[in-house]
Amino acid sequence: MGTIRAQQKAQTRQALLREARDLFAARGYADVSLSDVVAAAGVTKGALYHHFDGKVSLFRAVLEQVQHDVADAVVAAAGASEDAWTQLVDGCHAFLAASVSADVRQVMLVDGPAVLGWQEWRAADEAASGRHLAGALTALVDAGVIAPQPIAPLTRLLSGAMNEAALWLAGSGNPQDLTDTTAALDRLLGALRNG
């Protein structure tokens, strides 16, 4: 009996997250009510409040899901190569490619900082993908591929540039912009490389 109940709870939570993600991506945080979410998920508000304290709590969970999906795509792309430089470049390319998705743009880049505040959003971004970028850069410095330098500012510079490019790409609608942005990123990254 307990196992069935736990499965039902998990299914309800997943339905709420799925529907909230779709609604937040399509309409933005401000234009989505909890009534919209529970109606789309086919559950009661009581069921929603069993899992989440309110709209911000639900949004936070959706944002974490989106950030982890993007981080997983980056890690998968980077993991396709044994070469540390190629891992960095492929991971950065995967991040930009993921950014053209409506949910990534709206949830992660537009509403995330506005709803949660810059500090909380930044901490979530750091937990989801910033540490991967810092790790890749550290490995490249240690291997002598990139000149020795403090990793924290370099990580933030690259992350900030890619987040800004991602926000722009997600709203552009022109497929050529992704190609051009990727080429510009390659030139930027190439300038870091020794020799």
Task: Write down the residue that tokens 């234009």 correspond to.
Answer: 31
* 82, amino acid identity: E
- Of 17, 160, 13, 20, the closest CA to residue 95 belongs to 160
Q: Tell me what pLDDT residue 95 has.
A: 92
Domain 55-192 has CATH 1.10.357.10: yes
CA separation for the pair 89, 138 (Å, rounded): 14
CATH superfamily ID and name for 1-52: Homeodomain-like (1.10.10.60)
Q: Tell me what pLDDT residue 1 has.
A: 59
Domain with CATH 1.10.357.10 in the chain: 55-192
Q: Tell me what pLDDT residue 54 has.
A: 96
Domain with CATH 1.10.10.60 in the chain: 1-52
CA separation for the pair 50, 104 (Å, rounded): 26
Residue 52 phi/psi, 5-degree rounding, is -135, 145
Residue 146 DSSP class = B
Mean pLDDT by 10 residues, the chain (195 residues): 81 96 96 97 94 96 93 92 95 91 87 92 82 92 96 93 88 88 96 89
Q: Tell me what pLDDT residue 121 has.
A: 87
* 152, amino acid identity: A
Give the angle 111-153-136 at the CA atoms, nearest 5°: 85
Residue 144, strand partner residues: none
Q: Tell me what pLDDT residue 84 has.
A: 94
